[in-house]
């Protein structure tokens, strides 16, 4: 480490050690945490047209908390058996399905994807390196997030996936040129995961859903987890909403089923999470553990990445082993995640896109952060932003919170603050062990009120306390 990083590490070492001990000691969700979840949901979803379901699981069992409406032409409220579109959480099923295929001797991770496609399809390669099944499962194939021919053709601008066929996928592959060698760099790719699910189904001469149901859902007794909904499941489907709370149409998929086409419930996903962390016995658990293995570290905003799973950099400060995956469609946002050390898991499902962030809430719950009004304000996009005008990030190596940007003409800017400063305390609360959402909640407050920041200049090795007055922030 250089001198500045060493100084930052020493500043927080004692507090960090205490945080780590606390995290290691908490291997279950407390009753107080459960009560706060209940109160949070009640405060934010009581008498609304949208709803949220939160599931917690640990060595003592699972619990479900919920509030809000199905909004499906009934007065019903959401609960543990309510069906949601789970979007990209589907990718974790696809990666697991691949490992099941490998275990059965039906595929190999290092097989070129071209091996399973018609000869007429020209899969892009670079410098003799072909795209493998493992590259697709780990988002390292070099394929983009979505193909350039993903455009709606049925007048559904809010859902371009409904008409994306196998033929269009093949057309994309035939024309696409890789910018780097496969397997060398993480780049989140919906189309890559769609291709993986497609060749898995092709190899077994069946469809993606049938394989997931047979090999994952039935063994785990996940009877409400499907791509296509039966009338009974559709009756339990929560209606989706956009960020303004208006009804949003459900998404349909063709070749993209393995990327985001699954529906599920909190109860089913708790079974899935429980098997992932070994709380329930399953022959799938050893395969699930293989999907957790970190393949690339510090990859853009996804943090450390595995086979579909990632950690967003969460848990770095406290030494926790967190991993999860979020999902989002036109009217839904979802998240599942767990702590591998403490064997605690969470499920957060919401039938609104762009409201309170289920993913951020999930990470906070795993870290034992109390959900409260300030957290809700920090999580809700579009709410009036009141703060001091700084952007924060966590230095992975030293596990300290630092300022990365100062907004012009903000209280922070007018006080002479600059990027690179370490935020050691916020109103006497140490930042060691805290995530960005927690720090944002501490900084935000009523306009005109004051907040104190204890700042460390790592270059000058100076510590200063600055008092700022909160105000509306206009990022521009």
Residue 360 confidence (pLDDT) above 70: yes
Please give the average per-residue pLDDT across 341-362, as a whole number: 94
pLDDT on residue 14: 30
- Please list the residues that pair with 411 across neighbouring strands: none
Q: Look up residue 333 and give its two tokens.
A: 């946002």
- Domain boundaries of the chain, sorted by first residue: 3-23+382-472, 31-367
pLDDT, position 18: 32
Q: CATH for 31-367, among 3.30.465.10, 3.30.200.210, 3.40.710.10, 2.50.20.10? A: 3.40.710.10
Whether 3-23+382-472 and 31-367 share one fold: the answer is: no
Q: Name the DSSP letter for residue 460.
A: T
Residue 421 has which token pair?
């400063």
Q: How far apart are CA 71 and CA 48, in angstroms?
A: 9
94 touches 200 (CB < 8 A): yes
**For the segment 425-454, what is each residue's pLDDT rounded down to a tens digit?**
999 888 887 777 778 778 877 678 889 999
Instruction: Encode pLDDT of 188-244 as tens digits.
Output: 999 999 999 999 999 999 999 999 999 999 999 999 999 999 999 999 999 999 988
Digit-coded pLDDT (tens) for 285-318: 999 999 999 999 876 678 899 999 999 888 766 6
- State the average pLDDT over residues 459-476: 78
Question: What digits encode the pLDDT tens for the residues 75-96?
Answer: 899 999 999 999 999 999 999 9
Per-residue pLDDT at 476 exceeds 50: no
Task: Give the CA angle between residues 387, 389, 391 to the nearest 5°.
Answer: 105
pLDDT category of residue 10 using cuts at 50, 70 and 90: very low
Determine the Cα–Cα distance for residues 114 and 117; give it in Å rounded to an integer: 5
Q: How far apart are CA 287 and CA 264, in angstroms?
A: 21
pTM for the full predicted model: 0.82
Would you mind telling me the total number of residues written for the chain in this entry? 476
Q: Which of 324, 307, 313 is nearest to 394 (CA)?
A: 313
Domain 3-23+382-472 adopts which CATH fold?
Pdz3 Domain (2.30.42)
With pLDDT > 70 as the criterion, what percentage of the chain qualifies? 88
Report which of 176, 157, 173 is spatially closest to residue 165, judged by C-alpha positions: 173
């Amino acid at each position: 480490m250089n001198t500045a990083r060493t100084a930052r590490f020493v500043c927080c070492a004692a507090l960090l050690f205490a945080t780590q001990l606390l995290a290691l000691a908490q291997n279950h969700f407390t009753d107080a945490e459960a009560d706060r979840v209940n109160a949070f949901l009640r405060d934010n979803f009581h008498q609304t047209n949208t709803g949220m379901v939160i599931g917690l699981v640990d060595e003592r069992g699972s619990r479900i908390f919920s509030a809000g409406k199905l909004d499906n032409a009934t007065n019903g409220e959401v609960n543990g058996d309510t069906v949601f579109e789970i979007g990209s959480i589907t990718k974790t099923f696809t990666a697991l399905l691949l490992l099941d295929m490998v275990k059965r001797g039906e595929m190999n991770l290092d097989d070129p994807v071209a091996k399973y496609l018609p000869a007429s399809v020209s899969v892009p390669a670079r410098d003799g390196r072909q795209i493998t099944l493992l590259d697709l499962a780990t988002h390292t194939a070099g394929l983009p997030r979505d193909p350039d021919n993903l455009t709606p053709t049925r007048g559904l601008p809010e859902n371009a996936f409904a008409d994306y066929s196998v033929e269009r996928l093949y057309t994309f592959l035939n024309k696409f040129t890789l910018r780097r060698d496969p397997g060398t760099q993480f780049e989140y790719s919906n189309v890559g995961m769609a291709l993986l699910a497609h060749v898995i189904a092709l190899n077994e001469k069946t469809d993606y859903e049938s394989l997931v149901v047979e090999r994952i859902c039935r063994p785990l007794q996940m009877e409400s987890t499907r791509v296509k909904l039966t009338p009974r499941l559709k009756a339990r489907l929560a209606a989706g909403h956009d960020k303004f709370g208006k009804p949003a149409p459900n998404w349909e998929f063709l070749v993209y089923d393995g990327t985001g086409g699954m529906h599920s419930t909190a109860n089913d996903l708790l079974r899935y999470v429980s098997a992932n962390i070994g709380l329930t016995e399953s022959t799938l658990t050893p395969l699930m553990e293989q999907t957790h293995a970190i393949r690339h570290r510090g990859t853009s905003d996804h943090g450390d990445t595995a086979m579909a799973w990632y950690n967003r950099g969460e848990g770095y400060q406290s030494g926790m082993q967190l991993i999860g995956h979020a999902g989002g469609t036109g009217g839904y946002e979802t998240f599942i995640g767990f702590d591998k050390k403490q064997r605690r898991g969470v499920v957060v499902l919401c039938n609104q896109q762009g409201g309170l962030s289920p993913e951020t809430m999930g990470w906070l719950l795993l870290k034992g952060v109390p959900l409260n009004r300030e957290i809700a304000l920090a999580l809700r996009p579009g709410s009036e932003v009141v703060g001091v005008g700084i952007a924060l990030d966590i230095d992975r190596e030293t596990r300290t919170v630092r300022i990365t940007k100062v907004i012009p003409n903000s209280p922070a800017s007018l006080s002479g603050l600059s990027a690179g400063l370490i935020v050691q305390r916020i109103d006497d609360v140490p930042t060691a062990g805290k995530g960005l959402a927690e720090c944002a909640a501490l900084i935000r407050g009523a306009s005109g009120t004051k907040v104190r920041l204890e700042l460390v200049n790592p270059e000058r090795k100076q510590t200063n306390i600055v008092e700022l007055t909160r105000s509306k922030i206009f990022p521009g």
